[in-house]
């Protein structure tokens, strides 16, 4: 529990949520815990200014070490870049909302601390969604919903890539969904820019060659279901990794009809344009170990299982503002703290955070 003698400035109030003390702007009322992650806790709240429900994330102890501090900076910075309002586009749509429909939008950010040397708590206010994908995949979904969720994930990934951002931590808990089946990607904590990825150490690079079934955590027994990768792929691996793969027994791939049998897919409704066979075909193109042979995001968007939702305006939304690569140099905690504090001050100068 944090100290209860915490200083609460004007325009803010303090409320205890579980183990955490939240000091938030008074405009946000009725806080309720909805989730927690590696970085902190997330509450729903009612925004009395905009008259709508929002999500507020408190990054817990963002300055405990360099990794946390850098993650916090990236999350704030990348969210606000991805989220900038492109004038011509938003004017066209008369939209007050962020233009990247499939990436969570930042609505506000603040800290109750007024000075850099006191700065310790970072709050980010976002659009509120209803559930994360861990919860949604437990439900019985029909082909229409499955393919719509997939289409939106692909759009979101395309937007990130068009900004040179690689998410690196895409998993069901980082994807949130509304009850109307709209979907958004969250959490840019581990996001890397393409330039950084290029400069990564061999160890990290090799992780990109991990078999999809390993990444998917399907378990050791099933690890070789896609079969041993072919020679042309092995030749492109780091020598140590190649050695490891070559010294393992050779496996024939299990046919996709066996891996993903008809009974694993929803029944195809008579009226539906979408079938389990199409879903399986798309999976077989996505779960390819060799990234050069794996279906690209653009081609996946054109696949018959997904292209029923294809909307050029959504898919080809203009690229987000570029991320400043100079920020990617290693810095100490105090330096990250200063950058984040400056971002918050700039935000407060250019937006009315109170009302
Ligand atoms: P995070 O710390 O960003 O990984 O979020 C942890 C969990 O909080 C997620 O898995 C979601 O269940 C929930 N969550 C985060 N942001 C939102 C949001 N904007 N709307 C609804 N739930 C959210």
- For residue 255 the two structure tokens come to 């046919």
Alpha carbon distance 213, 288 (integer Å):
10
Residues with CB under 6 A from ligand 1: 34-37, 39, 42, 55, 57, 104, 126-129, 132, 173-174, 176, 186-187
Tell me what the mean pLDDT of segment 301-317 comes to. 93
Question: Does 75 have pLDDT greater than 60?
Answer: yes
**Greatest mean pLDDT range, 87-101, 110-124, 162-176:** 110-124
47 is an active site residue: no
Least confidently predicted of 22-36, 65-79, 167-181, 222-236: 222-236
Atom of ligand 1 nearest to the CA of 173: 10
Contacts of 225 (CB under 8 A, 6+ apart): 213, 218, 251, 253, 254, 259
Q: Select the more confidently predicted residue: 136 or 268.
A: 136
Task: Report CA(128)–ligand 1 centroid distance (Å).
Answer: 9
Maximum Cα–Cα distance for the chain, whole Å? 67
- The residue nearest atom 8 of ligand 1, judged by CA position, is 35
Query: Does the structure show a pLDDT above 70 at 135?
Result: yes
Structure tokens at 303: 């696949």
**Pairwise pLDDT comparison (21 vs 193), residue with the higher score:** 21
Q: How far apart are CA 83 and CA 108, in angstroms?
A: 11
Q: Closest ligand 1 atom, CA of 39?
A: 2
Q: Among positive and negative, which fits the CA dihedral 188, 193, 196, 202?
A: positive
CA nearest ligand 1 atom 22, residue: 129
pLDDT tens digits for range 201-221: 444 434 444 444 444 444 444
Top mutation candidate among 46, 170, 176, 184 for ligand 1, by most atoms within 8 Å of CB: 176
Choosing from 130, 142, 169, 328, which is the catalytic residue? 169
Whole-number Å distance, alpha carbon 24 to ligand 1 midpoint, is 18
How many angstroms is it from 187 CA to the middle of ligand 1?
8
The whole-angstrom separation of Cα 239 and Cα 210 is: 14
pLDDT digits (tens, 9 = 90+) for 256-269: 999 999 899 988 77
Report whether pLDDT(91) > 60: no
SS3 annotation, the chain: CCCCCCCCCCCEEEEEECCEEEEEECCEEEEEEEEECCCEEEEEEEECCCCEEEEEEEECCCCCCHHHHHHHHHHHHHHHHHCCCCHHHHHHHCCCCCCCCCECCEEEEECCCCCHHHCCCEEEEEECCCEEHHHHCCCCCCHHHHHHHHHHHHHHHHHHHHCCEECCCCCHHHEEECCCCCEEECCCCCCEEHHHHHCCCHHHHHHCCCCHHHHCCCCCCCCCCCCCCCHHHHCCCCHHHHHHHHCCCCCCCCCHHHHCCHHHCCCCCCCCCCCHHHHHHHHHHHCCCCCCCCCCHHHHHHCCCCHHHCCHHHHCCCCCCCCCHHHHCCCCHHHHHHHHHHHHHHHHHHCCCCC
Tokens 């995949």 identify what position? 137
Ligand 1, atom 15: nearest CA belongs to which residue? 42
Tell me what pLDDT residue 10 has: 87
> ∠ CA 68-25-130 to the nearest 5 degrees?
70
What token pair was written down for 180? 């109307």
- Closest by CA to 128, choosing from 149, 145, 104, is 104
> What pLDDT does 234 receive?
85
The pLDDT value given to residue 322? 67
Condensed to tens digits (0 to 9), the pLDDT of residues 314-326 reads: 898 876 666 676 6
pLDDT of 51 higher than 70: yes
Q: Which domains does the chain have, with CATH numbers?
A: 12-130+329-351 (3.30.200.20), 131-316 (1.10.510.10)
Q: What are the structure tokens assigned to 289, written together? A: 């170990």
What pLDDT score was predicted for residue 21? 92
CA of 126 to the centre of ligand 1 (A): 10
For residue 37, the ligand 1 atom closest to its alpha carbon is 2
Residue 103, both tokens: 């990436």
Provide mean pLDDT across the span 64-70. Answer: 89
pLDDT band with cut points at 50, 70 and 90 for residue 237: confident
Structural Rg of the chain based on CA atoms: 22
Its sign, for the CA torsion 57, 58, 62, 68, is negative
- Residue 66 pLDDT > 60, yes or no? yes
Q: What is the mean pLDDT of residues 90-111?
A: 67
Query: Which of 35, 98, 167 to probe ligand 1 with, by most ligand atoms within 8 A of CB?
Result: 35
Higher pLDDT, 282 or 83: 282
Name which residue sits closest to atom 21 of ligand 1, judged by CA.
129
Please, which pLDDT band fits residue 161 given cuts at 50, 70 and 90?
A: confident
pLDDT of residue 61: 82
Q: Tell me the CA–centroid distance for residue 199 and ligand 1, in Å.
A: 30
Q: Contact at 8 Å (CB) between 272 and 145?
A: no
Q: pLDDT > 70: what percent of the chain?
A: 80
What is the Cα–Cα distance from 142 to 130, expressed in whole angstroms? 19
Could you tell me the distance, in angstroms and rounded to a whole number, from the CA of residue 244 to the centre of ligand 1?
Answer: 38
pLDDT exceeds cutoff 90 at 38? no
- Residue-averaged pLDDT of the chain: 82
Residue nearest to atom 10 of ligand 1 (CA): 173
253-258: average pLDDT: 92
Q: Smallest Cα–Cα separation from 266: which of 181, 133, 142, 150?
A: 142
């Amino acid at each position: 529990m944090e100290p209860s003698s915490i200083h609460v400035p004007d325009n803010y109030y303090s409320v205890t949520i579980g183990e955490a003390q939240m000091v938030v702007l008074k405009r946000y009322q009725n806080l309720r815990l909805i989730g927690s992650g590696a970085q902190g806790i997330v509450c729903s709240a009612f925004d009395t200014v905009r008259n709508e429900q929002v999500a507020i994330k408190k990054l817990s102890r963002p300055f405990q070490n360099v990794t946390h501090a850098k993650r916090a900076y990236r999350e704030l910075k990348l969210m606000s870049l991805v989220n900038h309002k492109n004038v011509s586009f938003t004017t066209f749509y008369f939209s007050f909302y962020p233009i990247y429909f499939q990436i969570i939008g930042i609505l506000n950010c603040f800290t109750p601390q007024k000075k850099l040397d006191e700065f310790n708590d970072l709050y980010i206010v976002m659009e509120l969604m209803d559930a994360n994908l861990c919860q949604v995949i437990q439900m019985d979904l029909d082909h229409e919903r499955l393919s719509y969720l997939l289409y939106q994930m692909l759009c979101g990934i395309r937007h990130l890539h068009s900004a040179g951002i690689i998410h690196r931590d895409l998993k069901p808990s980082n994807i949130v969904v509304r009850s109307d089946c709209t979907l958004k990607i969250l959490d840019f904590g581990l996001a890397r820019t393409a330039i950084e990825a290029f400069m990564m150490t061999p160890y990290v690079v090799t992780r990109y060659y991990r078999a999809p079934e390993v990444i998917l955590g399907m378990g050791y027994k099933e690890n070789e279901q896609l079969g041993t990768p072919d020679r042309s792929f092995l030749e492109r691996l780091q020598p140590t990794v190649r050695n490891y793969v070559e010294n393992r027994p050779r496996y024939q791939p299990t046919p996709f009809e066996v891996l993903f049998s008809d009974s694993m897919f929803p029944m195809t409704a008579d009226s539906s344009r979408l079938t389990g066979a199409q879903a399986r075909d798309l999976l077989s193109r996505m779960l390819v170990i060799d990234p050069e042979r794996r279906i690209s995001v653009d081609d996946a968007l054109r696949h018959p299982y997904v292209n029923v939702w294809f909307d050029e305006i959504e898919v080809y939304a203009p690229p987000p503002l570029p991320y400043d690569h100079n920020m990617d140099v290693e810095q100490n905690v105090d330096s990250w703290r200063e950058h984040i504090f400056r971002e918050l001050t700039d935000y407060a100068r250019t937006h009315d955070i109170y009302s």
